[in-house]
Chain A
Amino acid sequence: MKGLDPQAALKDMLLAGLVALGLFAPLVGLRTDVSPTGALFIRTRWTDVAIIVGLVMAGRLAMHIFLARREARAAMADLSKPGRFATQAAFLARILGPVLLGVALLLPAIPGIGRYELDLGILVLTYIMLGWGLNIVVGLAGLLDLGYVAFYAVGAYSYALLAQYFGFSFWLCLPLAGILAAFWGILLGFPVLRLRGDYLAIVTLAFGEIIRIVLLNWVSLTGGSNGISGIPRPSFFGLPFSMEGGPGTFAGFFGIEPSPVHRVIFLYYLILALAMLTNWVSIRIRKQPLGRAWEAMREDEIACRSLGINIRNTKLSAFMIGAMFGGFAGAFFATRQGFISPESFTFIESAIILAIVVLGGLGSQIGVAIAAIVMIGGFELFRDLEEWRMLVFGAAMVLIMVWRPRGLVGSRQPTVVLRERRRIGSEHVAEGRG
């Protein structure tokens, strides 16, 4: 076991400090300025230099301690078993899931939770749902999809257009949006059946952009960059949310004071239900031949073929089901916002959803949920840091990936057990090249 060698670390720290001094003394320490008389003079800022050099040295030392600790841990861990952290994470995951669900169910009732917190909850749940949907494609089937936002857009525009042109209600449009998105999932699936890895990523990326650009340019149907506004809000099974409080409205029917929060609470529970549906379907499918075929395809496509598994249908089914949940989420997004435009469906959305899946751990439901809470919630939390927000956020992501290269929950839970349930360490699980 190799621990921290204090002498070497100290020496390296001093060296780093020296390099930093050499660099920052001229860059930061010396500055030409214009004096009130108009002449140039050199202003020195040695305190700033000292602070920077100190920071560099401290950072270098921290890095040494971190690396030494990791090495020590790696030396202790038995390679055939998931690491100590994985077992801890597995235990945490078991109790964390129900706890998180309980908090999510009671959130609107918790004192101090206002409209802002509920809106944030809706946003986080939307991304959890999208993450779970993409997890089917990327995590289980191992198909790297960079254009997932396209299905989100298809779902949103399906609802908006069907409501605008045919006056369909939200509850009728929700399944239709899912079906249409699933159809587009199959359309995307066909041309990319033979592509793997990087090539698949590029084509799906292009697909996402094509959908957005069509929405942007087909002005006569979609309104182009002006988007679609006045999308009908959902009703509580036929009872609209209205401030008037008449007998036909939600507040009137239940005899309560009309309040704008009612609709927010309803939307919150709606997305919670949709997300839980996604979760439930994913978990159930995983324990079935179809889900096992997806995972087998991620592990080895050629072996799958030799066992008589139809790769084409299996891939298409993964694209289809993943896209369907993206479509549901899109319809929800449209009804929640009341206004959609192609602006909402840019590549960065796909990237965020994919980052949630990768950060959470490919194939792990609870990991994806935590990653969505951290990413979307954390993004809001850091709002006070203003322009530093992106930097803090990026650094946090880099740190997580250094610390847990296979995501927060990298180990895999077997779908069927003969005697003893053991988690499978991430070193055995393939990432998927398809």
Chain B
Amino acid sequence: MAAPILEVDALSMRFGGLKAVDEVSFTAHAGDITAVIGPNGAGKTTVFNCITGFYRPTSGRLRLHRDGRATELQKLQGHDIARAGIARTFQNIRLFPGMTALENLLVAQHRPLMRASGFAIGAILGLSGYPAAERAAIARATRWLEATGLIERADDPAGALPYGQQRRLEIARAMCTSPLLLCLDEPAAGLNPRESVDLARLLRAIRDGEAAEGEPPCSLLLIEHDMGVVMGISDRVVVLDHGKKIADGTPAEVRADPRVIAAYLGEGDEDEVPAEAAP
């Protein structure tokens, strides 16, 4: 089995009296597409927001492994989590609508560009090697625009793109931050069947490092509602229900799990669930 990239260890998140996530543990492995699924209100988005630093978990640990070293994500601030190697997209797309597609991808490369510009001071005075760094950043953005089929729209404002293209641009933007783990929040929501198939192909290519030239493989973590998409592309599926993990395994294993079926098709009596089905 591949090395773990993200370990979620006894993660709990409490909002007042409500325990949205209760002692959830799972591991995402390097080179895998890991999906987190569950019915509405199962706590998927809460887990996701904890991992990406938008919530601070009540308890539990989140460890991101990079080159044999582990980073404790729950101790970091929002923007530092992105710097540690986690990129995300949003359920209701959050692009920079008034900026062009290309500009969106350059904002994602803020950190390396900022360093190259000598924190703005050097570049204003024309001292640093900033132009070369910017050319490299534009080349990288161009590769991602080609990978997502948006090269023709590079100079159009992101807000003017159709919905499906905005989704792809958001993925390209997340990938431009050079992440270890790409987290996608319902990437297939609102897409038509053909766009969903294209998306699945893109996600697999990102996992294998074949999406764009010179890009290393990247692990993925996704939340998805649509079982069809999840079962088709995931290497591993984690199922949540009422804030607890109820299943964890390959898509085939999860699909056969009676607890998962109960959670999705309606709540059976707890006693009916065979004990050995629990993970």
Nearest-Cβ distance from residue B123 to partner chain A, whole angstroms: 5
Beyond A284-B124, A285-B124, A303-B95, whether A415 also contacts B110 by CB under 8 A is: no
CA distance A404 to B132 in the complex (A): 40
State whether A281 and B98 are in contact (beta carbons under 8 Å apart), knowing that A292-B106, A428-B157 are contacts in the complex: no
Is the Cβ of A424 less than 8 Å from the Cβ of B177?
no
A417 lies within 8 A of chain B by Cβ: yes
Assuming the contacts A307-B173, A430-B97, asked whether A289 and B120 have C-beta atoms less than 8 A apart, the reply is: yes
Q: A39–B108 Cα gap in the complex (Å)?
A: 84
Contacts of B142 in A (CB 8 A): 418
Q: Is A112 positioned at the interface, with any CB of B under 8 Å from its CB?
A: no
Q: Is A70 an interface residue (CB 8 A)?
A: no
- List, in ascending order, chain A residues with CB within 8 A of B99's CB: 292, 295-296, 299, 414, 424
CA distance A284 to B122 in the complex (A): 11
Partner of A303, one of B90, B100, B109, B124: B90
The answer to whether B154 and A308 touch across the interface, beta carbons within 8 angstroms, is: no
Interface string of A58-88 (1 = CB under 8 A from B): 0000000000000000000000100000000
Instruction: State A317–B121 Cα separation when bound (angstroms).
Output: 12
How far apart are B129's CB and chain A's nearest CB, in angstroms? Answer: 13
Q: For the complex, give the distance between the alpha carbons of A311 and B80 in Å.
A: 11
Q: Is the CB of B83 within 8 A of A308?
A: yes
- Comparing B29-37, B111-119, B228-236, B250-258, the segment that makes contact with chain A is B111-119
Q: B78 an interface residue at 8 Å Cβ cutoff?
A: yes
A303 partner residues in chain B, CB cutoff 8 A: 90, 94-96
Q: In the complex, which residues of chain A have a beta carbon less than 8 angstroms from the beta carbon of B134?
A: 416
How many of chain A's residues have a CB under 8 angstroms from any CB in B?
Answer: 40
Please give me the residue from chain A that is nearest to B109 by CB atom. Answer: A289
Tell whether A305 is near chain B: CB-to-CB under 8 Å: yes
Contact of B156 with A by CB under 8 A: yes
User: What mask results when residues 275 to 308 of chain A are scored 1 for a CB within 8 Å of chain B, else 0?
Assistant: 0000001001100111011011001101111111
Task: Give B57-78 as 1s and 0s: 1 = Cβ < 8 Å from A's Cβ atoms.
Answer: 0000000000000000000001
Task: Note all chain B residues with C-beta closer than 8 A to A417.
Answer: 100, 102, 155
A292, A299, A311, A428: the one contacting B160 at CB < 8 Å is A428
With A288-B130, A292-B106, A414-B100 as known contacts, state yes or no: A311 contacts B79, CB within 8 Å: yes
CB of B138 closer than 8 Å to a CB of A = yes
Task: Please tell me if A412 contacts chain B, counting CB pairs below 8 Å.
Answer: yes
Q: Judge whether A307 and B177 touch: CB under 8 Å.
A: yes
Point out which of B80, B102, B142, B173 has the most chain A C-beta atoms below 10 A from its C-beta: B102
Q: Measured between C-beta atoms, what is the minimum distance from A299 to chain B in Å? A: 4
Say yes or no for B82: interface residue by CB 8 A criterion.
Answer: yes
Instruction: Using known A-B contacts A284-B123, A299-B96, A299-B98, determine if residue A308 contacts B103 with beta carbons closer than 8 Å.
Output: no
Interface 1/0 per residue, B30-48 and A, CB below 8 Å: 0000000000000000000
Q: How far is the CA of A419 from the CA of B155 in the complex (A)?
A: 7
Decide yes or no whether A310 CB sits under 8 A from chain B: yes
How many B residues touch A, CB cutoff 8 Å? 49
Query: In the complex, are the beta carbons of A292 and B82 less than 8 A apart?
Result: no
Query: Which residues of A in the span 398-416 have a Cβ within 8 Å of any Cβ on B?
Result: 412, 414-416
- Residues of A near B114 (CB, < 8 A) are 289-290, 293
CB neighbors of A among B140-185 (8 A): 142, 145, 151, 154-160, 173-174, 177
B-side contacts of A300, CB under 8 Å: 94-97
CB of A351 within 8 A of chain B? no
- Distance in Å from the Cβ of A95 to the closest Cβ of chain B? 23
Residues in A neighbouring B157, C-beta threshold 8 A: 424-425, 428-429
Known pairs A281-B124, A299-B98, A300-B95; A288 contacts B159 (CB<8 A): no
In the assembly, what is the distance between CA of A293 and CA of B265, in Å? 46
Is there a chain A Cβ closer than 8 Å to B5's Cβ? Answer: no
B23 CB → nearest A CB, Å:
26
A194 close to B (CB within 8 Å):
no
In the complex, whether B244 has a CB less than 8 A from a CB of chain A is no
Q: How far is the CB of B5 from chain A (nearest CB, A)?
A: 18
Chain B residues closer than 8 Å to A386, beta-carbon distance: none
Interface residue? B88 (CB, 8 A): yes
Q: Which residue of A lies closest to B101 (CB)?
A: A418
A428 to B155, CA, bound (A): 14
Minimum distance in angstroms from B187 CB to a CB of chain A: 15
In the complex, whether B188 has a CB less than 8 A from a CB of chain A is: no
**Contact pattern, B 203-233, Cβ under 8 Å of A = 1, otherwise 0:** 0000000000000000000000000000000
In the complex, given contacts A302-B54, A420-B155, what are 18 additional A-B residue pairs having Cβ atoms less than 8 angstroms apart?
A288-B120, A290-B117, A292-B99, A292-B103, A295-B99, A302-B90, A306-B174, A307-B108, A307-B173, A307-B174, A307-B177, A308-B82, A414-B102, A416-B100, A417-B102, A422-B100, A428-B158, A429-B98
| B residues neighboring A (CB under 8 Å) | 52-54, 78-80, 82-83, 87-88, 90, 94-100, 102-103, 106-111, 113-114, 117, 119-120, 123-124, 130, 134, 138, 142, 145, 151, 154-160, 173-174, 177
Which residues on A are within 8 Å of B, measured CB to CB? Answer: 80, 281, 284-285, 288-290, 292-293, 295-296, 299-300, 302-311, 317, 412, 414-422, 424-425, 427-430
Complex A-B, nearest 5 residue pairs according to Cβ-Cβ distance, in ascending order: A429-B98, A308-B82, A299-B96, A428-B159, A289-B113
A-B contacts, 30 of them at CB < 8 A, read A284-B123, A289-B110, A289-B113, A290-B117, A292-B107, A296-B107, A299-B99, A300-B97, A302-B54, A303-B90, A305-B78, A306-B94, A306-B174, A307-B87, A308-B79, A308-B177, A309-B79, A309-B107, A317-B120, A412-B98, A414-B100, A416-B103, A416-B138, A418-B138, A418-B142, A418-B151, A424-B157, A428-B159, A428-B160, A429-B97
